[in-house]
Structure 1
């Protein structure tokens, strides 16, 4: 059996052994210029992996620069190290999402950093990473979280200040429930 292992290892091309660790490092380190997202600002976003080559814990340093000066620094846990830009407060300016986890049913969570246009900086929304599959609904100015589980359901949240607030309204999505009708009830109850 040991001779078999030696033969396999001898057949592995040297370039794979040399370049694979470099590929992994590059994949986990991103530097993004955001000129097309924030055209009047000179903002760059950096997400750098701080794990060791054999470490299974994917931690990252998130750094946001404006004019080469740090305006926000945070250490985050991210399963895949993905960054997205979407408006989550209805001001028409995209905010920053950093992927957090994906659970067993592929429900993704994110850290949210809202762009503060007045101060030209970002603020982290506390506990946002507890919201699964978040989507901002600009009509009702809330965040909808459609969760895939044993019984799928929609949960509603509101961003207030620097926190996300659970509106304590859950709509189950199953055959015995008219999902559209229940959603309309939620709108009537929550929008007064």
Structure 2
């Protein structure tokens, strides 16, 4: 029990550090990019950030809902992506933590920051200074729209993740397999090590 707790604590700390670094990087990049573009492009960027959060939330849930047997059959036939899918399912807790907690939460935070930048740009277009009624109204409207799209999108994503988990994980695994083979990046290296140890 102590050993499991230590492993869990170590993983939690590493995830927290990764989240801190990625959140800082994404916030800086998004803020610097948004200040250089018109509000219309900025709004599209905000929607892309929201979409990213929704997709990764769906992937995390699909990993916990999927089961191994269908992928073992695919692996026996040497179908690309099958082995990666097995690794994802076997390490569903870690995969879900990364997708839901790291990428999902960062997307939510960054989308909020990005929305604030777009609001300021729109307020400047209308010629209203900080704290004006127009800016407050724009802030409330855009924030509400982003929140509604995020919650609504995640609700749809959860439905798809639960009812099509095998397809979603297999598609994800094939993308990961393609990236690993073409760019020589070991995306699932940590998961592979933990899987081998558990055998």
TM over 0.5: no
- Greater Cα radius of gyration, structure 1 or 2: 1
Q: TM-score, normalised by structure 2?
A: 0.24
Q: TM-score, normalised by structure 1?
A: 0.24
Greater relative CO, 1 or 2 (CA 8 Å, sep 6+): 2
Higher helix share: 2
